[in-house]
Amino acid sequence: MIAGEEDEKPVFEIWGQRHLRWLKQNRRVTYTNLLTTGKLYDYLREIDAQASGQLDALITQMVRTEGVTEQLKAENQLEWVRRMNSIRNRAEEIVYSELIAH
């Protein structure tokens, strides 16, 4: 293994992967420029971190706003799961439209 090789490996999660796919399909010039200048993976890691942070914040805010509590979880687990899934899906759609497909 070459010294520093690990630093060049792409280390990003689902949001970075989704944005990479979107760049390749919709912004070929931007994708090529980032790739050829060696900035692509840093850019994708940053997008991934931003998206993850925004997702967590949105979920927390929606849970509070919609009154999804631990009491609900204890009293009616199926309803709690249904509402949490709904919140997560809506939050993911917001993050996708605001950060990934922009």
Of the candidate ranges 10-19, 31-40, 74-83, the one whose mean pLDDT is the lowest: 10-19
What are the sequence ranges of the domains in the chain? 12-100
Q: What is the pLDDT of residue 4?
A: 44
Contact 100, 19 (CB under 8 A): yes
Instruction: Give the mean pLDDT of the chain.
Output: 92
Tens of pLDDT, residues 15-58: 999 999 999 999 999 999 999 999 999 999 999 999 999 999 99
Contact 17, 102 (CB under 8 A): no
How far is 12 from 2, CA to CA, in rounded Å? Answer: 21
| Mean pLDDT within 59-80 | 97
Contact 46, 99 (CB under 8 A): no
**pTM across the whole model:** 0.83
Contact 92, 57 (CB under 8 A): no
Q: Which amino acid is at 7?
A: D
The count of other CB atoms within 10 Å of the CB of residue 12 is 21
The single-letter DSSP state of residue 13 is -
